Amino acid sequence: MNSTSRISDPSRWLVASVLALVLIAASAATAGPTPGQRQPESLSSAEFSRLVREISEEGGYFRSDNFTSNETSYLHVVDKLKQFGSTGGAYIGVGPEQNFTYISKVRPRIAFIVDIRRQAMIQHLMYKAIFHLSPSRAQFLSILLSKPLPKGKAAATDAPVNELLNLFSETPADDQAYAANLA
């Protein structure tokens, strides 16, 4: 196998996967449920696991690291999404964490984040698990950072992110919180 085909094979897979997801989302959106039929609120664990196994490719070697962030320069799209009334339906995004912001603003019925790098998928699965376990943003940070919720300094549910980050920056790491996260 020459170096050109190694590069194009993952690219072909990514394009085929995104195209398949778009077609699935489009057919689901146009078909809609029959009268009186309810759509499931979420995928079952078995169905989700099957999708991850069947759609994901094996890990590979990349010559560079893939640093991800939720940069504010990507957020200008949010206003356009709101302007177009983009809510519900299916969301398909690629890679980095700004997808989480888009998903929280658009509130799709189902969301797919695809990335050619398997490590990114594992990172997104970690975030998915933490979102699922966290009833609040403070709880999310507590689990993510392995720090207990600040005692006696609880932030309001709608506290600004900077306030929450300041609270957690003053809270020392905790071995018990870390061990609980591993369980």
85 shares a domain with 16: yes
Token look-up 């998903």 returns 103
User: What is the distance, to the nearest Å, from the Cα of residue 16 to the centroid of all Cα atoms in its chain?
Assistant: 20
71, part of any domain: no
92 shares a domain with 21: yes
84 shares a domain with 24: yes
156 shares a domain with 102: no
90 burial (CB, 10 Å; 0-12 / 13-18 / 19+) is: middle
Type of residue at 105: K
Residue 23 belongs to domain spanning: 1-29+44-56+76-133
* Count: domains in the chain: 2
Q: Kindly state the tokens that stand for 167.
A: 């609270």
Q: Which residues pair with 57 in a beta bridge?
A: none
User: What is the model's pLDDT at position 3?
Assistant: 46
- Choose between 131 and 9: higher pLDDT: 131
Q: What is the pTM of this model?
A: 0.64
Inform me whether the pLDDT recorded for 135 exceeds 80.
Answer: yes
User: What is the model's pLDDT at position 30?
Assistant: 47
Q: Which of 120, 117, 5 is nearest to 61 (CA)?
A: 117
